[in-house]
Structure 1
């Protein structure tokens, strides 16, 4: 059994392209050409060079000594927080802007939740001299003000989404509307492993550099390419997809996906899709989705803007449904305490998204000799206001 995508654009029963007819030409052009473009030597060379010289890859695999001692296991942190722009998102936007250029697109649109993908998109548009429009929920604009300022500084237009919960789902809806209205000159850079095929696969491929590096770095540090576990937080799930990618079909490696339980799974204020989700269609793909009994999307909630999504990418839905992935839900409070703990033990302030992944060590034990790699997907600068309020650090 494979946990990768099949020729029809599905992971098991999840995936596909459920799109309005007006979007078909855009998506079909991408689907029919993305693999050939990805495999062009000139594309590979330009992508690799930008990852190295612009993004700053490879990112370190850091042995967290004091954190490991506390939890009595070997914990390595994959330092995606050290990428240019402060998170893994830039890996994908570099890949997609090169794809857009080869498709002769001149205008870029994107959606963003925590703002990291918006910043990464604005960054590559500035790099390549392309027009950039970013859709962002009005609530997220308020709680991620530093990232909004960064996008504007980079020359992007940030357009608030004022419908629904005014968060990531609604920003995505607005971006899709824009794309329908501007099919010829516009490329939509989706920021996660969500959306219609080929996006989940394309984004996962661009992020797979994370697990390619983990293999190489573990070989140097531990004499083997495989950890016992790879741990990552999951909203849409691109950082997790990148960290898992090289290990998907190696069942010796445990894949642990950490979701946001918000104020508690049963409180009605949560984003724990694996527990609360049912099969449905969102933003062009069939996946697990939090919804009411009559199929209306349930508004998600998390203290972390990047995990505040009512669904999960189809790769992760399949990992959950097949039992290949182990899913753990972490509350706001547990995540915030874990973020502070890493800061005090290792001198690294993590993004609140990553803090969810770090929180599992309080509730799940590992063997002393286990090698556990946690994808530290972003840095905490963008979340300082939330940390300040929560811990009353004023």
Structure 2
């Protein structure tokens, strides 16, 4: 499948990937399209987050947890054998090496600390691949909070290992049997549940989606990926900045966090979506889960279910800031098929000894294809965020290989 949009020159505009405009807007996207019963809850989260991020004590506590519990900083690993095969210099930002096995822990530790600061006793979360659910259950256990995780019935079947991990950590896992029984419906159920328990519970959104302030709050908690990578690239690369920064995109949190560290540079941003869940590449303007963004829709404006072999990428839309970056020409969004992703996972395993999550394998699949198609010239430097490890996908891969 060829990419759906041509390159435009990157635009490192001043203020890009800073705070959103009034009412949580990124250009024409974002906002707070929440039920009346949740508007006040979102306002409280917004106020608490702004106070917390300005508080050195909160920032210090989060930095300590990220270091001592999550294992940050994560390394920047040169993929030497694969780079030699491809003719580019590929570096992997190793979020798969964090505690719980993915970038999700960065955001969850931040939101869990925020919830405790607000006096909330319980975390609510949605999850697709299960990594956000595991991270939420982990943070809840660490801080003495309760956790309830909503997960589509279909995802429960294909991510059984993560379901077990969540339950072992003490979380309640609630199967969602409506609609596609995947991430979109899990998110809807989690938001509906939050309506009745806002006084005691914090909704720990797992990606850069949802009503304001969640898209930029989650991006700020994930910014640690990009900030670390920026410093590591400065030490590793002659130019200090890679030619391309690549990450997979479902809702888009690992990509947003990585891009944020390079927003003021001329690095080209590439967000890689699943062929069956390409909100940024093929979506249309709409409102879902509290924000205005780009979503897959039919001719009647109804949301079309996303489809992907990677449970974390079958969301039918994209975070509002990604939609804005697309419009600015600051980021390019491309698609990868299930087959390409599986092939990339196998290739990374056999050249570098790393089994990636199928979500992350989408990003690598684009790199491999772009080299062959001429979009990545020989000698290019590429930073790719390896957002998670592949343990959770072993059963899926075993059936296919």
Q: In structure 2, what is the Cα distance between the partners aligned to 1:12 and 1:67?
A: 39
Q: Does 1:323 align with 2:337?
A: no
Cα pair 1:3 1:315 within 8 Å, conserved: no
Correspondent of 1:145 among 149, 160, 182: 160
Deviations 1:303-345 (A, max 9, x none): 0000010000011111112221111100000000000000000
Equivalent residue in structure 1 for 2:271, among 257, 265, 277: 257
Equivalent residue in structure 2 for 1:338, among 317, 339, 344: 344
- Report the Cα offset of residue 31 of structure 1: 1.4
Aligned residue for 1:265? none
Q: Using the alignment, how far apart are the partners of 2:278 and 2:400 within structure 1?
A: 21
Deviation at 1:36, TM superposition (A): 1.6
CA distance in structure 2 between the aligned counterparts of 1:149 and 1:311, rounded to whole angstroms:
28
Superposition CA RMSD, Å: 1.0
The question of whether the paired residues in 1 share the 8 Å contact of 2:294 and 2:318 is answered with yes
Match of 1:6 in 2: 20
**Unpaired runs of at least 5, structure 2:** 1-12
Residue 135 of structure 1: aligned partner? 150
CA displacement at 1:221 relative to structure 2? 1.3
String of CA shifts for 1:259-288, please: whole Å, max 9, x gaps: 001xxxxxxxx1111232100001000000
For 1:339-358, list aligned pairs within 5 A.
Answer: 339-358=345-364
Q: Which runs of 5+ in 1 are unaligned?
A: 262-269
1:297 aligns with 2:303: yes
Matched-pair contact (CA < 8 Å) for 1:107–1:131: yes
CA distance in 1, matches of 2:184, 2:381: 35
User: Is 2:387 aligned against 1:377?
Assistant: yes
**Higher mean displacement: 221-230 or 157-166:** 221-230
Deviations 1:183-216 (A, max 9, x none): 1111000000000110010100000000111111
- Which residue of the other structure, out of 360, 363, 367, is the alignment partner of 2:366? 360
Distance 2:369 2:146 in 1: 46
The TM-score with structure 2 as length reference comes to: 0.94
Question: What is residue 237 of structure 1 aligned with on the other side?
Answer: 252
Answer yes or no: is 1:208 the counterpart of 2:218.
no
Kindly state the Cα deviation for residue 369 of structure 1 after the two structures are TM-superposed: 3.1
Q: Report the alpha carbon displacement of residue 246 of structure 1 after superposing the two structures with TM.
A: 1.7
2:118 equivalent to 1:103: yes
**Alpha-carbon offset, residue 127 of structure 1:** 0.2
Tell me the distance in 2 between the aligned counterparts of 1:32 and 1:48.
21
Return the offset for 1:6: 2.5
Greater shift in the superposed pair: 121-130 or 219-228: 219-228
Q: Distance in 1 between matches of 2:368 and 2:359?
A: 17
User: Which residue of the other structure, out of 272, 282, 292, is the alignment partner of 1:286?
Assistant: 292
Partner of 1:182: 197
Displacement, 1:123?
0.1
